[in-house]
Chain A
Amino acid sequence: MTALAAAADGAVQIGTGEAVVFWILGPIAVLGALGMVFSRNAVHSALFLVNTMLALGVFYVVQEAPFLGAVQIIVYTGAIMILFLFVLMLVGRDSSDSVVETLRGQRVAATVLGVGFAGLVGAGIARATEGTAVRGLDAVQGAEGNIPAIARLLFTRYLLAFEVTSALLITAAVGAMVLAHTEREAGSRQSQKELSRARFLTAEHPQTLPGPGVYARANSIAAPGRLPDGSPSPLSFATGVEPQDVDELPPARSLGVERAGLPHSGGTDAALGTLGGATTGPTPGSGQEPPR
């Protein structure tokens, strides 16, 4: 209301709400920017940048440009920063910045240049806008509202710039795809259907090879799976591991020396967790199995 009234006589007064939002979010945005620069962890840096971008989005909304604010949040924070995070996470979470300076004096030079550049830009903008009458976006875009006003400008006055920008972006996207694309002859890569057909037609074992099965009595991958009669299944030998004799728990029904040192009183099957106890436990080769 006050903004409208003020717009009528040519100058815009900043409302209380706008001032409050500015003085709360301004420091947050600046802190986010500083945090982005000074954070050692790349992902934390990205998060601080997201924070600053969100604050900027709210600033746009407060300054009567809600469309720009929403687009800022959707495009910059929602898409571009997510892609940044994507790459950072692929790089690895422990890739913190090294504190060793590879170029001597790099940091001092960067600080001086950064502050100087900010000063130049800030001073330039301040001088350029000094004394300009502030009219407010509402007065400029008229009664039709924010979105139609932007659309009108984009598709009339700035049409060429808009189209050129989109052409540039498409060129960049196509270029990235061309660079990342690996040429592959048609038909050189079998589809999942063909692979599965081939497997069933040629291989002796279309299914997966047996692992250390229910009859295995050791945790080592060198221990072969057992066939139901207790003999080791050759198919279950691990590739890349020398077949060797590992210490396996003795079969349940075995008596005598090999069970003497075992700590569990109920016998080996108590340790393996079978149900039947010592008397009804399975004996490999006997064709019996406890109910499961």
Chain B
Amino acid sequence: MNLLAARNQPTLEDFGHDVWWIVLIKIVGIFAVLVLMTLFAIVFERKVVARMQQRIGPNRVGPRGYLQSLADGLKLAFKEDIMPALADRPVYFLAPVIATIPAFLAFSVIPLGPSVSIFGHRTPLQLTDAPIGVLIVLACSAMGVYGIVLGGWASGSTYPLLGSLRSAAQMVSYEIAMGLSIVPVFLYAGTLSTSTIVAAQADGSRLSFFGAGFTGPSWYAVLLPVSFVIYAVAVVGETNRAPFDLPEAESELVGGFHTEYSSLKFALFFLAEYVNMVTVSALAATLFLGGWRAPWPISIWDGANTGWWPLLWFFAKVVMALFVFIWLRGTLPRLRYDQFMRFGWKVLVPTALVWILVVATLRTVSREAELDGGEIAVFVGVPVALILLAGLLVASRISNRTTRIAAANAAAGSTNPTEPEPEVLPAVGPRRRPDGGTGPAGGFPVPPMDLKVPPSPRLRSREPVAAGGLVGTGRRTSATTPEQDGDV
């Protein structure tokens, strides 16, 4: 299996010898994949967030609503393109283009799979690689900032300008944390090229634990957990996603940097944001989650890392990372701007620096003492991490002590005894108004006291309730189409 894997595993020498039409196929393929992933990510996000909010989500266009984002994209393209009177025309036009091109460019160094045969040519499933592979992604994300900053500036309006100022500060500072967080990966892998980093995560080190030998973890997410966490936090800030979506905070800045944009230009910004999301997810999979290599239970099967199968594992990892993005958005409220910047500069960056120091020390010690890196990580890193976590837990409990005691007392009824609510409003029943509606009580709008909560549409398949069929779930009746019940 090792021989097979070695033959499959592309090295730096394998790149740069492709025939021109293979390069063309790869370019078109990556473009198509990114556009499709964007369309998928949008509808996936809407459906997952809807699930988390007990809604149904888009279910009209196409099978189970999965063509909704395609319809939205077409609609965007046909909308009126508005050029604000105060806009700086050339820059206003260029900004969405500058935002989009680097987003696509960054994906060129992401390894999607091992060497495969395309029409008889053996070639790696990766457009190109370089000794500086990951730096290309960083450079592209650095260029992507310009699109947002210039878009906000060129709009000639206040909210976009504020949004772009925010994004300039935010993306530059979170880029630092992101860059620092992946330095330990370079130290461990000994290279900056993405394909070699994937190869370095191929095999875990052999460990013997009280006589029982087993293969240690090989993913850098396990070996370098601090890096992984910092990277995960930093890229959320880097891609302007909730809870760090301050450049486009709806409640503060209307739409942020793209307030004045419409039609295809807006669509380009939208595309760039989602492509960036896919790219950082793919980079997370490549750097920390073993790249296209199959996760553990599957990797027992010898054929898992050969042929076209790795594409499946890779995109499963990417979709999982996208899900985490969406999960964050559905869960966390937006941070205040100063808290957000303080978090980046005073927590993420120093932690990343200390972590680099720790990892470099461990590497040096293991090289001097001829120990294996994985052994050190498992026998030193894991206990240290456990002690650290326990310490954090104790510290947080101590700092919350007064609150906890107060809450316990309140629950026991000592501080604010829970008396019955004083009657402020008369308990009104369904007061009939002359026109037949249920009126407000005493001039104040109150909910009807005899309100029956309609049964959840999801429970309907188990408990058919006739009255529930009319509640606006978007479906006609449950009795005629019972097979649709699981599709929301």
Hey, which bits of chain A sit against chain B, CB under 8 A? 41, 43-44, 47, 50, 54, 57, 66-67, 69-71, 73-74, 77-79, 82-83, 85-86, 89-90, 93, 145-147, 228-229, 276, 280, 287-289, 291-292
Cβ-Cβ contact count across A and B, 8 Å cutoff: 96
Given A77-B142, A89-B161, A228-B443, A291 and B130 touching (CB < 8 A)?
no
Q: Distance in Å from the Cβ of A103 to the closest Cβ of chain B?
A: 29
Contact B130 A73 (CB under 8 A): no
Q: Which chain B residues lie closer than 8 Å to A280 at the CB level?
A: 435
Q: Do A82 and B437 have beta carbons less than 8 Å apart?
A: no
- Contact of A70 with B443 at beta-carbon distance under 8 Å, contacts A78-B143, A85-B149 already known: no
A71–B165 CA distance with the chains assembled, in angstroms: 24
Complex-state Cα separation, A50 to B142, whole angstroms: 12
Nearest neighbor of B149 in chain A, beta-carbon distance = A85
- Kindly state whether residue B91 has any CB partner on chain A within 8 Å: yes
Contacts of B88 on A, CB cut-off 8 Å?
Answer: 41, 43, 93
Indicate if the CB atoms of B132 and A289 lie closer than 8 Å. no
Q: Is the CB of B91 within 8 A of A74?
A: no
Tell me the minimal C-beta distance from A14 to chain B in angstroms: 18
- Give the chain B neighbours of A82 by CB distance below 8 A: 142, 145-146, 149, 168, 171-172
Nearest CB of A to B465, in Å: 26
* Complex CA–CA separation, A288 to B433 (angstroms): 10
Task: Looking at the assembled complex, report how far the CB atom of B128 sits from the nearest CB atom of chain A, in whole angstroms.
Answer: 12
Taking CB as reference atom, which chain A residue is nearest B140? A73
With a cutoff of 8 Å between Cβ atoms, the chain A residues found around residue B149 in the complex are 82, 85-86, 89
Cα of A175 to Cα of B132 in the assembled complex, Å: 34
Instruction: Check B192 against A288 for contact (C-beta < 8 Å).
Output: no
Contact check, A289 vs B145: say whether CB atoms are below 8 A apart: no
Chain B binding surface, main DSSP class: helix
Does A292 contact B445, Cβ atoms closer than 8 Å?
yes
Q: Are B135 and A67 in contact (CB under 8 A)?
A: yes
Q: Whole-angstrom distance between the alpha carbons of A226 and B406 in the complex?
A: 40
A-B residue pairs in contact (CB < 8 Å), sample of 7: A66-B131, A67-B135, A77-B143, A78-B142, A86-B169, A287-B443, A288-B439
Cα A292 to Cα B440 with chains together (Å): 11
Q: Is B136 in contact with chain A by the CB < 8 A criterion?
A: yes
Contact indicator B131/A145 (Cβ below 8 Å): yes
Nearest residue (CB) in A for B138 is A74
B135:A90 contact, CB within 8 angstroms: no
Interface 0/1 of B440-472, CB less than 8 Å to A: 101111000000000000000000000000000
Does the CB pair B442–A287 fall under 8 Å?
Answer: yes
Select which of B150, B165, B169 is within 8 A of A47 by beta carbon: B150
B146:A50 contact, CB within 8 angstroms: yes
- Please tell me if B279 contacts chain A, counting CB pairs below 8 Å: no
CB–CB A147/B131 < 8 A: yes
Query: Given the complex of chains A and B, what is the CA–CA distance between A54 and B98 in angstroms?
Result: 13
Residues on B lying within 8 angstroms of A by beta carbon are 88, 91, 130-132, 135-136, 138-139, 141-143, 145-146, 149-150, 153, 156, 161, 164-165, 168-169, 171-172, 175, 179, 192, 433, 435, 437, 439-440, 442-445
Complex Cα distance, B169 from A86, in Å, reads 8
A93 & B135 in contact (Cβ 8 Å cutoff): no
- Nearest first, the 4 closest Cβ-Cβ pairs linking A and B are A78-B142, A70-B135, A287-B443, A73-B139
Report if A70-B138 is in contact (Cβ < 8 Å); known contacts: A147-B132, A288-B439: yes
Cβ-defined contact, A67 with B443, below 8 A: no
Chain A residues with CB below 8 A from B161, complex form? 89, 93
Task: State A69–B192 Cα separation when bound (angstroms).
Answer: 14
Q: Is the CB of A79 within 8 A of B172?
A: yes
Query: A289 near B445 (CB under 8 angstroms)?
Result: yes
User: Do A83 and B440 touch across chains, with their CB atoms under 8 A apart?
Assistant: no
Known: A82-B142, A89-B153, A93-B161. 4 other contacts (CB 8 A): A85-B149, A85-B150, A93-B153, A229-B443
- A187 CB, min distance to chain B CBs, angstroms: 18
Q: Are A71 and B142 in contact (CB under 8 A)?
A: no
- In the bound assembly, the distance between CA atoms of A185 and B143 in angstroms comes to 41
Q: With A79-B172, A288-B443, A291-B437 in contact, is A66–B132 under 8 Å at CB?
A: yes
Expressed in whole angstroms, the Cα–Cα distance for A237 and B231 within the complex equals: 50
Question: In the complex, what's the smallest C-beta–C-beta distance from B348 to chain A, in angstroms?
Answer: 16
Measured CB to CB, the closest approach of chain A to B447, in angstroms, equals 12
Judge whether A146 and B153 touch: CB under 8 Å: no
Q: A44-B91, A82-B145, A85-B168 are in contact. Are A228 and B139 (CB under 8 A)?
A: no
In the assembled complex, how far is the CB of residue A111 from the closest CB belonging to chain B, in whole angstroms? Answer: 26
Bound Cα distance A86, B439 (Å): 55
The distance in angstroms between the C-alpha atoms of A74 and B178, with both chains bound, is 13
Residue of A nearest to B443 (CB): A287
| Cβ distance B186 to chain A, nearest Cβ, rounded Å | 9
Query: Residue on B with the closest CB to A229?
Result: B443
Most buried by A among B136, B156, B169, B433: B136
> Of B169, B439, B443, which is in contact with the most chain A CB atoms at under 10 Å from its CB?
B443
A-side contacts of B153, CB under 8 Å? 43, 85, 89, 93
Within 8 Å by CB of A86, from B165, B175, B433, B443, lies: B165
Cα-based distance from A287 to B428 in the complex (angstroms): 15
C-alpha spacing A145/B132, complex, angstroms: 10
What separation, in Å, do the CA atoms of A77 and B141 have in the docked complex? 11
Measured in the bound complex, the distance between the Cα atoms of B150 and A73 in whole Å is: 17
Residues in B neighbouring A73, C-beta threshold 8 A = 139, 142-143
Which A residues touch B130, using CB under 8 A?
66
A79 with B142: CB separation less than 8 A: yes
CB B346 to nearest CB in A, in angstroms, measures 13
